[in-house]
Amino acid sequence: MTARGAALLGGAGGALVTALAAGALAAAGAFDTDDGAAPAKTTPPARTAPAARPAPAEATSDAVLVGQVYRRAIASVVLIRTGGGEGSGFVVDGTGRIVTNAHVVGGSRRVRVQFGENTPTIPGRVIGRDRSSDLALVRVLPRRVRGGLHPLALADSARVRVGDLAVAIGNPFGLERTLTAGVVSALGRQIEAPDGFSIPGAIQTDAAINPGNSGGPLLDGNGRVIGVNSQIKSGSGSNSGVGFAVPVSTVKFVVPQIQNGGKVQRAYLGVRNGDTQDLSGAVVGGVVAGGPAAKAGLQNGDKITSIDGRPITGSDDVSSAVAARKPGEQAKVTVERGGNRRTLTVDLGTRPETPAGG
């Protein structure tokens, strides 16, 4: 389902929070939350406190693992400052390339980048951005980075599972090098990009994500990037247990195309569609005149049930199926119309700069 109402995570804006870490530490097993105590003795020895109950082995193991991930990754996570705010980013190679969110850098061509606490910022240049995926690339000169560059490994999106450990590192509210931990809460979410298009395949997590976490990595238990923290769903503008990250598969698709200032070419179907109540398909609510779908014969009211043999249960599936293809390729779209099923061949186009359909 589409994650409606999710908010982009902007700069710190002068906000101050003093107790961000406690909830994450408890979730990670650092705190023993079992308040049960042994019966009190009639005459306890003076100045002797009851012995602390040891934490469960599983919780201790989780806390140790989270700490290991943090120590392995922290040298790769940076603070990015622009003229209007700040966010996070992470190093992806030895040439000084840093991935962040497009909404973090905004329209800036130059930013300031900080590696570690109590270190001076160094200049960075925005070498590419893609607002449709909310991703951007910043480059710094490797020789200016104290201690050298430590790129993070990118995970395989196909191996990410609900319930997997999820570790977020960033700079929420300007509090540098903050760690939060949780799990992958859901996969395949759809969130809205800064330009109004949809970002399919987003990862939902309960790891606390707040303004300033934008652009930072969401990591698995091996310290590999599974996503780029980008949005929260909240009525208050801060974390409420629902955060979203752009999946690493999108990073792998976008970065090679924007690293030299290029633009991402995406496939385009040209329909607007909605979900069915029984999750049996996506109902076409509008067909863009002259678009690929219109030329192939799709009509308002058609229910899309599969694309290239891939079952469609709702509009998010349509977006994901089209995103997996390239402009110029053909897609087999199966629809139900008037009780009959038919398969139409669509010559996919190139998505326009502004939303006009699916």
For residue 80, the surrounding DSSP H or E stretch is strand 77-81
* 274 SS3 class: strand
Closest CA to 258 of 147, 126, 166: 126
C-alpha dist (Å) from residue 254 to 2, 104, 129, 202, 260? 21, 17, 9, 14, 11
Is 214 part of the annotated catalytic residue set? yes
- Of the residues 76, 88, 103, 198, which is catalytic? 103
Is 134 part of the annotated catalytic residue set? yes
For residue 245, the surrounding DSSP H or E stretch is strand 243-247
Cβ-based neighbour number of residue 280 at 10 Å: 15
- Of the residues 214, 230, 249, 319, which is catalytic? 214
- Of the residues 62, 130, 134, 316, which is catalytic? 134
Q: Are 277 and 306 in contact (CB under 8 A)?
A: no
Sequence-ordered alpha helix ranges (H) in 235-323: 248-258, 292-296, 315-323
Active site residues: 103, 134, 214
